[in-house]
A = this chain, B = another copy of it.
């Protein structure tokens, strides 16, 4: 039997707290899960620094990847006998779903920004490079790795397949909203996925939703909105991320300036240079990162050791609302104050912004462009969701941005009480 059609002698299941069971019957999927590159995702948290806010958020990307696979598996099961659905695409969809996050590194967000990396490029590299994953995919057929890479890269010709994994209501989002809600314990993030799966219909170039399921989709969009602001952009999480970024900046700078680390940061060298190769990238997971941060707590550089101590022991920066258009004077005042007191404001006085577009019907040319959601009307027409739903319309295309100013309160407290801005901050914090 061709490898692509091989089935396990008995179905295997993973006990999953979100989907109850993840079912695997294909030998290929089973083999992919067993690769070192996929197992590595166990050592990378799904939500990066969110565990500093929500102590339950310690789950890994391994978890999430299995979940996305399972959702796609269920969608495809429902599609089996529908028009527009090509059964030949089944294994491709499952593989792409499973592997879509393979290129994520430790604390991706910060690492990518500081070291100018792109996890999507690494996903491609792992699938196409000299890896265990590539060997398995190539056994299916020589072009199979490229196809999987294309699906994940959204360039695959069958857009219906792409939309399962990358649209505004794809398996990726449906899994992470529910999973992150489950592990953090928040009550947002619930929607009736079973109903959404029941009303999904394949068309020629995308998955659409039967109009009767519109309210379930509204509920999903609202979940997404709430999860972004209540969980993903939580200011405490961002505080940890601010510190993390500053650690990476500092270490890089120190390396560039020829600082002699007590322990050579071998795992980081290629990152400092901005050109990690695939093997180096794969070696740097969150265990390794945390190991270095703990080692660096004992480095002589006071900024690096202080920031690492703050991150490891969760002594985070405090924050206040900050309006960059109106409060630059205050920022300037603090900047000088910090400088004068010998507290480097480049590391200790940080403005951080988050913004989100909860749903958008069309944003041509934007990087994060995702397909809008289409409803299948009883008369077989397609209608874009925000044209049918008042609620979705109301938040559609509205970018919301939030700015905050982060700083170590313990240091601020030591500064001159004559500063008006300091006084104002202390009032905000202590009421």
Chain A residues packing against B (C-beta within 8 Å): 9, 13-18, 20-21, 34-36, 39, 42-43, 51, 54-56, 58-60, 62-63, 66, 182-188, 190-192, 194-195, 198, 215, 218-219, 222, 225-226, 229-230, 283, 285-288, 290-291, 294, 312-315, 378, 390-391, 393-395, 398, 400, 428, 430-431
Partner of A56, one of B17, B39, B184, B186: B17
Q: Name 7 extra pairs, CB < 8 A, besides A42-B58, A183-B183, A188-B219.
A: A13-B198, A15-B185, A17-B182, A58-B60, A287-B290, A290-B291, A378-B428
Take A60-B58, A62-B55, A391-B225 as given contacts and tell me if A190 and B187 are in contact as well, using a CB distance cutoff of 8 Å. yes
Going nearest first, the 3 A-B pairs with the smallest beta carbon separation are: A394-B394, A17-B185, A287-B290
Could you tell me the distance in whole angstroms from the C-beta of A221 to the nearest C-beta in chain B? 10
List chain B residues, Cβ under 8 A from A290. Answer: 43, 287-288, 291
Q: Which residue of B lies closest to A67 (CB)?
A: B55
Contact of B184 with A15 in the complex, beta carbons under 8 Å: yes
Which single residue of chain B is at the shortest CB-CB distance from A283?
B294
CB distance from A190 to the nearest CB of B (A): 6
Query: What distance in Å separates the Cβ of A80 from its nearest Cβ neighbour in chain B?
Result: 13
Distance from A54 Cβ to chain B, minimum over Cβ atoms (Å):
6
Residues of B within 8 A of A285 (CB): 294
Q: Do A16 and B185 touch across chains, with their CB atoms under 8 A apart?
A: yes
Most buried by B among A34, A195, A315: A195
B287:A184 contact, CB within 8 angstroms: no
Q: Which residues of B lie under 8 Å from residue A191 when comparing CB positions? A: 187
CA distance A60 to B57 in the complex (A): 10
Q: What residues on B are CB-neighbors of A36 within 8 Å?
A: 312-313
* Contact partners of A291 in chain B: CB under 8 A: 287-288, 290-291
Which of B58, B185, B288, B395 sits near A58, CB closer than 8 Å?
B58
24 A-B pairs, CB-CB below 8 angstroms? Answer: A9-B431, A16-B55, A16-B56, A20-B185, A20-B194, A21-B198, A35-B313, A39-B313, A42-B55, A42-B314, A58-B58, A58-B59, A58-B60, A183-B183, A187-B192, A218-B226, A222-B391, A288-B291, A290-B291, A291-B291, A378-B431, A390-B395, A390-B400, A391-B394
Name the CB-closest residue of B to A46.
B58
Residue pair A14, B391 in contact (C-beta under 8 Å)? no
Say yes or no: B391 contacts A398, CB within 8 Å.
no
Whether B288 lies near A17 (C-beta < 8 A) is no
B194 near A21: Cβ-Cβ < 8 Å? yes
Asked whether, in the complex, the Cβ of B215 is within 8 Å of the Cβ of A219, the reply is no
- Pick from B14, B62, B229: contact of A215, CB under 8 Å: B229
Chain B residue at minimal CB-CB distance from A289: B287
For A35, the chain B residues whose CB sits under 8 A away are: 313
Report how far A313 CA is from B62 CA in the complex, Å: 12
Closest Cβ–Cβ distance, residue A180 to chain B (whole Å): 11
> A186 to chain B: which residues have CB within 8 Å?
15, 192
